[in-house]
């Protein structure tokens, strides 16, 4: 067996799939792990393991069996105390076990940003029952946003207009949380102009930023993204300063997806993921090196070019609308004839609102690219046989 590095990937969704492709191009040997077999990244990896990332015993067994050079989390729901133990024993966790622990839950990373690092955030409180939700909403004010402290892809998030909607939002958050903590964050709804993801690469030679990515969400989940997002230079500078502050505190090497709300030149920290971000799928077409290429390079200690530039491009997701394990797709030729690029994720099962693929397009500007990506996504049809 010949390889440049051995990587144990924890989580094997569509982001992990693209990371595996990037890592394989650099000669890595990748073992993809997830709770279900035939997950997207497993289809590209050298080997696979099927177990729950919340099973600490199985997690340790996989690490000790494969002895990887790098342990790379691709999702939040991981038994992070085991990662801390493994790091203390000499294994390299990407970007660090502390980063995985703090970002597994929204409460930990929000408290770090707001209370320890002094970054501007929205008003917020936590709640573990409906009475506490009501009190937290009083503090945040209406409208407010309620979401689990641990979830993925926006699951469990609701914008609540008045007190009558609190109970349903609490129940929806608990039903869609990950992990074993029935705890939510209730935060002020920010009257924003737009929100961005600032992909921030921490690597052996310093910290590098990608051009900002704009995005639109529905049901708390990303539906389209575009790059570069038009943004005042002063606001970009503030976002970069805040992102640098938090990623340098978390440490390690890798790509971070740092999210901000923007109102004029005011920038408010929202969330952070210590890994490639779903809104960053646009970089598969907009940048010469995608977010996955950059993550793989940073993880493996390889150079990151400066500066990173992006041409106007956009992504639009392809969604399922029902439960099915029998899937086929049509319309790819028609979508691609319009100049778009289509990526089908290879998920073995569909369910309502699950992302099954993405359409990517360029344009004279981001508005044109967004229109082209949306049109291409609508052309791709999922058939449930």
> Residue 3, Cα to own-chain centre: how many angstroms?
28
Q: To which residue do tokens 């150079």 refer?
A: 303
Catalytic residue among 121, 279, 283, 286: 279
8 beta partners: 31, 71
CB-facing half-sphere around the CA of 206: CA atoms within 13 A: 5
Q: How far is CA 316 from CA 7, 133, 221, in A?
A: 30, 34, 12
Q: Strand locations in 79-235, DSSP E?
A: 124-127, 144-148, 158-160, 184-188, 194-203, 206-209, 213-218, 221-227
Catalytic residue among 271, 343, 354, 374: 271
The SS3 of residue 2 is coil
Catalytic residue among 154, 179, 331, 346: 154
Active-site annotation holds for 355: yes
Catalytic residue among 79, 223, 238, 355: 355
Per DSSP, helices labelled H in 67-180 are 80-88, 97-104, 106-111, 130-140, 166-175
> Residue 177, Cα to own-chain centre: how many angstroms?
16
Catalytic residue among 259, 275, 363, 370: 259
Instruction: Read off the tokens for 187.
Output: 């935060």
Active-site annotation holds for 279: yes
Contact 5, 19 (CB under 8 A): no
Catalytic residue among 46, 52, 152, 181: 152
SS3 content of the chain, % helix, strand, coil (to 5): 35, 30, 35
Distance of alpha carbon 357 from alpha carbon 334, whole angstroms = 15
Active-site annotation holds for 154: yes
- Which string of DSSP letters, residue by residue, matches 32-59? EEESSTT-GGGGTSSEEEES-TT-HHHH
* 315: Cβ contacts below 8 Å, ≥ 6 apart: 224, 225, 226, 279, 281, 282, 284, 285, 358, 359, 360, 373
Catalytic residue set: 152, 154, 259, 271, 278-279, 355
């Amino acid at each position: 067996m010949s390889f440049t590095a051995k990587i144990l990937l924890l989580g094997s969704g569509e982001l992990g799939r693209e990371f595996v492709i990037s890592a394989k191009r650099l000669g890595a040997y990748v073992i993809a792990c997830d709770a279900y077999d035939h997950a997207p990244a497993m289809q590209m990896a050298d080997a696979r393991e099927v177990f729950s990332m919340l099973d600490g015993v199985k997690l340790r067994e996989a690490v000790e069996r494969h002895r990887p050079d790098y342990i790379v989390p691709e999702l939040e729901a991981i038994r992070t105390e085991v990662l801390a133990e493994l790091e203390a024993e000499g294994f390299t966790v990407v970007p660090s076990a502390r980063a995985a622990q703090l970002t597994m839950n929204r409460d930990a990373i929000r408290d770090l940003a707001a209370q320890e690092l002094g970054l501007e955030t929205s008003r917020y409180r936590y709640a573990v029952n409906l009475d506490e939700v009501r009190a937290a909403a009083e503090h945040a004010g209406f409208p407010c946003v309620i979401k689990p402290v641990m979830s993925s892809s926006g699951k469990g998030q609701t914008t609540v207009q008045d007190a009558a909607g609190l109970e349903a939002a609490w129940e929806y958050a608990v039903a869609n949380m990950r992990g074993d903590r029935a705890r939510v964050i209730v935060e002020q709804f920010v009257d924003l102009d737009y929100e961005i993801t600032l992909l921030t690469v921490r690597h052996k030679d310093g910290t590098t930023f990608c051009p900002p990515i704009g995005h639109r969400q529905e049901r708390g989940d990303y539906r389209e993204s575009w790059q570069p997002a038009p943004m005042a230079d002063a606001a970009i500078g503030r976002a970069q300063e805040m992102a640098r502050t938090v990623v340098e505190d978390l440490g390690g090497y890798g790509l971070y997806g740092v999210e901000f709300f923007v109102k004029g030149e005011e920038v408010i920290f929202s969330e952070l993921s210590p890994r490639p971000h779903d809104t960053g799928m646009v970089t598969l077409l907009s940048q010469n090196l995608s977010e996955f290429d950059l993550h793989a390079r940073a993880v493996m200690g390889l150079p990151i070019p400066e500066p990173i530039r992006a041409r106007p491009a956009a992504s639009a997701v392809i969604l399922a609308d029902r439960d099915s394990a029998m899937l086929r797709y049509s319309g790819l030729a028609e979508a691609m004839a319009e100049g778009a690029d289509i990526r089908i994720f290879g998920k073995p099962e569909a369910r309502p609102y699950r992302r099954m693929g993405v359409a990517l397009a360029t344009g004279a500007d981001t508005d044109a690219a967004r229109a082209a990506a949306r049109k291409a996504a609508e052309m791709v049809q999922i058939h449930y046989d």
